[in-house]
Structure 1
Amino acid sequence: MGFVGKLVFIISSIFVLFSAKVIKDLFDVPPVPQLEERWWGAGSPKESNEAIVPFKIDIPQKILDDLQLRLKNHRPFVPPLEGVQQHYGMNTGLLSEIVDFWINKYNWREREKFLNKFPQFKTEIQGLNIHFIHVKPSSSLPKNVRVLPIILFHGWPGSVREFYDVIPLLTKPQSGRDFVFEVIVPSLPGYGFSDAASKPGFGPAQMTQIFNKLMNRLGHKKYYIQGGDWGALIVSIMGVLYPENVLGLHSNACSFVNSAITRIQLLIGSVFPSLIIEDDHEKSIYPLSETFSFMLTESGYLHIQSTKPDTVGVGLNDSPVGLAAYIIEKFSTWTNKNWRDKEDGGLQQKFTYTDLLDNVMIYWVTGSITTSVRLYSENFNKQQMSLNLDSIPVTVPAACAKFKNELINLPNKVIRSKYVNLVQSNYYNDGGHFAAFELPQILANDVWAAVAKFEEINKGTNTNKT
């Protein structure tokens, strides 16, 4: 073998060894991380107060008076460009209509009564007072009907308000079912009426510690979980970190997965669709160039919130009009991207201005917009990524509800690389990112069907003992 031959042999050997290592690293499952238990409140750790205290929303009148003053004295809007509808963000013509409704027709005291319709509580966990809604079914249930605990998680720019129409659909028995739900809906830490962390490093993984402790404190060692947006990431992480507690998970954003394997699968599907695509609706992900172009267009907020959350938070926390524009624009585009072409943003096809302003008000009266967007910075960083949670499969039974107008819907074969025990995946030819808010009956029915399957899987074992 001459010099050139030896050189080729050496280079080829190095390439083979490198490729082997890459493939091994790709398919190796990282160990499940052990999270440090930290105090997230201000100052040094204090003695924990585990009391569960009733809570009622009661906003001081001075906050409402200040809001009216700011609404009535906002600066003149910059006129929108001709014919752009919502493509440049919230059209100020539409915003003017919403602000007028807010000033003249929206009645917070009436809405406060509505928001207080369900029992609410607070409890301190790791230095943070966590707000949650807790609704139990009627005490006069038939003897054969079991009560199953389920915790529901919202995301950004949503709140617990999204679940107000879902809660009664889950706590009222369904004909032919031998179970009903006890529903817990927390405000994520830093959102609404829950405390925000006072120290950096509090990301979605750390949140799951809080929520597992919350369920344990309520007497539920085993329970079901459901979420969308940030809630979808939270239930995914809980499925990894607490499989001994989670009986099953339901997500209406299963497609928010991100690992090397899923990216490779998507690339393979763009060349050999039959290897990845199982149903016609799954073709919507292709061509990838169009999907990624749309995601890039709609993710500008994500970059600034991941890098400078406090800067953008100052402006949003100071101007209720700016806050409404920033939040409500998402309820247009993320519900249906085609609504960008509409002068009215399509909003009242699925929501009312009252519904949307309820959600905005939760951010405004609590001054929580800055702390809510910090979650992006706390997630997209080296510390969180070093946990490798994206690369660890979820082994607990899982169910996905995919809605036509969600920002992205992945094929089931791709989803199964993360949710390896996927027992249900339903596609709906309607709906978008805020499924609980937009289509509560459909989402609730999907949860019922999923948990019925989960219960069959758990039958005959001790896993369904709460």
Structure 2
Amino acid sequence: MWHQILPNAWENILSQIRSFEYSQKNAVLLPVAALGVGGILLCCLRSRHKVKTLEMGDGWWGSGERPLKGKEDESIRPFKIETSDREIEDLHRRLEQARYAEPLEGAAFDYGFNSNYLQRVVAYWRNEFDWHKQVEVLNKYPHFRTTIEGIDIHFIHVKPSYVPHGRAVQPLLMVHGWPGSFYEFYKIIPLLTEPARYGLNDGDVVFEVICPSIPGYGFSEAPHQKGFDTIATARIFHKLMNRLGFKQYYVQGGDWGSRVTTNMSQMLPQSVKGLHLNLVFRGSPSLRKILAVMIGAYVPWLVGFTREDAQLMYPFMQKSIYTILQESGYLHIQATKPDTAGCGLNDSPVGLAAYILEKFSTWTDKSFLHKTDGGLESKYTLDELLTNVMIYWVTGSIVSSMRYYKENFSKDPTLAVDRIGVHVPTGIAAFPHEILHTPRVWVKEVFSNIVTFSYMPRGGHFAAFEEPRLLAEHIIQFVRKVEKL
């Protein structure tokens, strides 16, 4: 409506001004006219910039139809990860019966997971990896489950062991992605809950950390109904935080966690004190962006790209079609027919490991494509990598985790973000080896309240898993700034 009111207002005011001579009386009317125009402009701007929010809605993801009567059990139940000799024996039998294909001569990871190196990983898994010990590691933090919208939600909740006098503890929800899990955050949690102990600060910013498993991942029950996307996840996680007694909190995410926490910020901005991301989705493609990429290869400043943006985008972007095809085959499968490939992975631990660990190679550093071991052990230990694989294996959650792509890509996943925008204080850590880099000028089109945007010195897609200290420092810096605002 403002675009109709404004021209009429200008026309009326200007006609009044023209009808008077420049007398003392008319000189008094000019500022009055200006004030009138200013008032109309202010009202229009307020109306135009009114913060839109994502509709929260409601959902039911349990088996069958939603019960007509009875309140949902809102209790929070302690949970413990357990294993058995039978479970391990079954795993070992399957590992021993694996069949391998010979890799091509000279092939590293450019055809996928190198099967020679895969045999080494499987040998370690069968003969040296101690799942009993890793279960103890997983249980070192308190685990819980609670029922929300008909399904059981798993999460860990870690509180600081010591809080300096007069300091407020900041609740922080951290959300993983695929093919990760809540375990990605095990190295960063102590840095956030006890930062002074690790020399990160003097205790002025201390967190209690909540890490849920996305429904269908790990120990969170899989949705039984179609349509479970990041918006439904965002709503469930808001309900989780409210059930834990938090009215305001910080949220952090990468990969799918980025989309979920962004949706949370759009859904209940009054509850999200700040949003921190280590991945920003590029948003809907457009001719303008395509032209910007083409022009930016030669004169990046002309399209608003910073020097760092240009370094991260080129020459990678100049061969991006090939690179995107090379790294996104899994996405096309999971966004269309996830159950077909998923059934095979759910039956074969060796296939599951190859499928998951290949992502921890090239998504950590694109150059690892040319290493026969995928560079995996240069950033992670086999115990760490196989523990993440085991979370998928023992819960049988690979199929339901893959379905998450179909549910989100059945409609434009960027539409809600682009249309509504994000207005809560936002911190962004851009890691140099992320799969795709989003230039700051594009980020600002969606995120209107960027408190800090940093180009990180090293690290890739699995930031909390690979570079926990760097990410922790950035989160603390961001929250410190927000608290001072």
TM-score, with structure 2 as normaliser: 0.84
Partner of 2:301: 274
Q: Distance in 2 between matches of 1:41 and 1:209?
A: 15
- Seen in structure 2, the aligned counterparts of structure 1 residues 386 and 430 have a Cα distance that, compared at 3 Å, is closer
Q: Distance in 2 between matches of 1:308 and 1:456?
A: 48
- Indicate conservation of the 8 Å contact 2:300/2:307, yes or no: no
SS in 1 for 2:265: helix
Moved more, 285-294 or 98-107: 285-294
Note the aligned Cα RMSD (angstroms): 2.0
Q: Distance in 1 between matches of 2:51 and 2:451?
A: 24
**Aligned partner letter, 1:394:** V
Match of 1:109 among 126, 132, 143: 132
1:36 CA drift (Å): 3.1
Does 2:154 match 1:131? yes
SS in 2 for 1:45: coil
- Indicate conservation of the 8 Å contact 1:40/1:128, yes or no: yes
Partner of 2:249: 223
Partner of 1:43: 64
Q: Distance in 1 between matches of 2:171 and 2:464?
A: 18
Moved more, 44-53 or 320-329: 44-53
Moved more, 53-62 or 154-163: 53-62
**Aligned partner letter, 1:231:** G
Identity of aligned residues (%): 47
- For residues 74-104 of structure 1, what are the alpha-carbon distances to aligned partners after superposition, in whole Å with 9 as ceiling and x for unaligned? 12x1100011100000000010000000000
Does 2:220 match 1:208? no
Q: Distance in 1 between matches of 2:414 and 2:211?
A: 29
Partner of 1:181: 207
SS in 1 for 2:445: coil
1:435 CA drift (Å): 0.7
- Indicate conservation of the 8 Å contact 1:30/1:388, yes or no: no
SS in 1 for 2:210: strand
1:65 CA drift (Å): 1.4
Match of 1:294 among 323, 330, 351: 323
1:389 CA drift (Å): 3.0
Partner of 1:368: 397
**Aligned partner letter, 2:217:** Y
- Indicate conservation of the 8 Å contact 2:163/2:203, yes or no: no
SS in 2 for 1:416: helix
Moved more, 199-208 or 174-183: 174-183
Q: Distance in 2 between matches of 1:30 and 1:444?
A: 30
Partner of 2:112: 89
Does 2:145 match 1:143? no
1:61 CA drift (Å): 2.9
Partner of 1:68: 92
Partner of 1:284: 312
1:420 CA drift (Å): 1.4
Alignment of 1:340-355 (within 5 A): 340-355=369-384
**Aligned partner letter, 1:422:** I
- Seen in structure 2, the aligned counterparts of structure 1 residues 388 and 63 have a Cα distance that, compared at 3 Å, is same
> Unaligned 5+ residue runs, structure 1?
1-26, 458-466
1:59 CA drift (Å): 2.3
- Indicate conservation of the 8 Å contact 2:172/2:251, yes or no: yes
Does 2:484 match 1:456? yes
Does 2:352 match 1:328? no
SS in 2 for 1:307: coil
Alignment of 1:145-160 (within 5 A): 145-160=167-182
Q: Distance in 2 between matches of 1:68 and 1:412?
A: 48
- Seen in structure 2, the aligned counterparts of structure 1 residues 147 and 28 have a Cα distance that, compared at 3 Å, is closer
Q: Distance in 2 between matches of 1:284 and 1:160?
A: 28
Alignment of 1:416-427 (within 5 A): 416-427=444-455
Q: Distance in 1 between matches of 2:94 and 2:479?
A: 46
Alignment of 1:28-39 (within 5 A): 32-39=53-60
1:267 CA drift (Å): 5.2
- Indicate conservation of the 8 Å contact 2:297/2:310, yes or no: no
Moved more, 252-261 or 99-108: 252-261
Q: How many residues align?
A: 428
Moved more, 245-254 or 58-67: 58-67
SS in 1 for 2:446: coil
Partner of 2:338: 309
SS in 2 for 1:67: helix
- For residues 319-348 of structure 1, what are the alpha-carbon distances to aligned partners after superposition, in whole Å with 9 as ceiling and x for unaligned? 000000000010001101111111111111
Q: Distance in 1 between matches of 2:413 and 2:461?
A: 25
**Aligned partner letter, 1:36:** G
Does 2:193 match 1:171? yes
- Indicate conservation of the 8 Å contact 1:277/1:283, yes or no: no
Q: Distance in 2 between matches of 1:91 and 1:29?
A: 53
1:404 CA drift (Å): 1.2
SS in 2 for 1:433: coil
1:374 CA drift (Å): 0.4
Partner of 2:456: 428
- Seen in structure 2, the aligned counterparts of structure 1 residues 210 and 157 have a Cα distance that, compared at 3 Å, is same
Moved more, 291-300 or 147-156: 291-300
SS in 1 for 2:116: helix
